[in-house]
Amino acid sequence: LPRTYDVDRLVADLQILRDVKSAPQPGPYHAGEWTGIALHSMVGKDSVFPSAAGMARYEDTENLKRTPYFKEILDELDCPKEVVRILFLPPGGYIKDHFDFHTSFQFGLLRLHIPVITDPNVAFVIDGERMDWKAGELWYGDFSKVHSVKNDSQIVRIHIVIDVQINDFLLSLFPPDFIAKRRAEGISMTQEPMPASATELRRFACD
């Protein structure tokens, strides 16, 4: 996508969080070596669980408040953010084939990546195609397709992973012909919350 970021500033903000313990990611397709730090999450908790349905709002975590460049980047992406994570995969780490069916235009949630530290020997494959994503670039990937990552390098591979809802700003980052094809298949756009009084909401009370 048409955004690039200063790698030195990305790494500098990463260093600010060096005292934060990264937490294992969920899923049966890795051995626990894939870990993360939350920048934005439901009610701002230090949780790296991927975006899921819930009644609470997504908010900045204390980690994001400490990292001015990360916050600047997220604020400039003028679309609703759900979970935003810094994800770490150490040398030898392997995230096996899996797919995240809910990350698609039809479901209204896209997953963006900003590589911070990477290496040509990291095999990142989506739908059978090996990706070549450089540090500081902003990428969209169709993670509803089968994908995997194997770190055959000697460095820790670090990406910022951003779950976003779809609005007009987000669509403007993509080539028009690409969006035209997605519209033909169906796009779920984010909607502004509808105002409702406590009296109105009581109509929907349930156990």
Q: How many residues belong to the chain?
A: 207
Looking at residue 47, its pLDDT comes to: 83
Flag whether pLDDT at 198 surpasses 90. Answer: no
- In order, the DSSP letters of 72-115 are HHHHHS-S-EEEEEEEEE-TT-EEEEE--TT-STTTTEEEEEEE
- The larger pLDDT score, comparing residue 135 to residue 196, is at 135
- Dihedral pair phi/psi, residue 68, rounded to 5°: -65, -35
The mean pLDDT of 31-37, rounded to a whole number, is 95
pLDDT given for residue 186 in this prediction: 96
**How high is the pLDDT of residue 119?**
98
| pLDDT of amino acid 16 | 98
| pLDDT one-digit tens code per residue, 77-131 | 999 999 999 999 999 999 999 999 999 999 999 999 999 999 999 999 999 999 9
Assess whether pLDDT exceeds 80 at residue 207.
Answer: no
% the chain with pLDDT above 70: 100
Q: Which long-range contacts (CB under 8 A, 24 or more apart) does 57-65 make?
A: 58/82, 58/83, 63/17, 63/20, 63/37, 63/38, 63/39, 64/39, 64/40
